[in-house]
Amino acid sequence: MSGGFDLTVIVEGKTMKEVALFVAEKLSTLESVLSTSTHFVLKKYKDKGTIFEKKQKDDREAVVL
pLDDT (0 to 100) of residue 6:
86
Residue 25 in this model has a pLDDT that exceeds 90: yes
Any long-range contacts for 36-42 (C-beta under 8 Å, 24+ apart)?
A: 37/5, 40/16
What is the C-alpha separation between 52 and 9, in angstroms, rounded? 23
Residue 1 in this model has a pLDDT that exceeds 80: no
CB 23 within 8 A of CB 38: yes
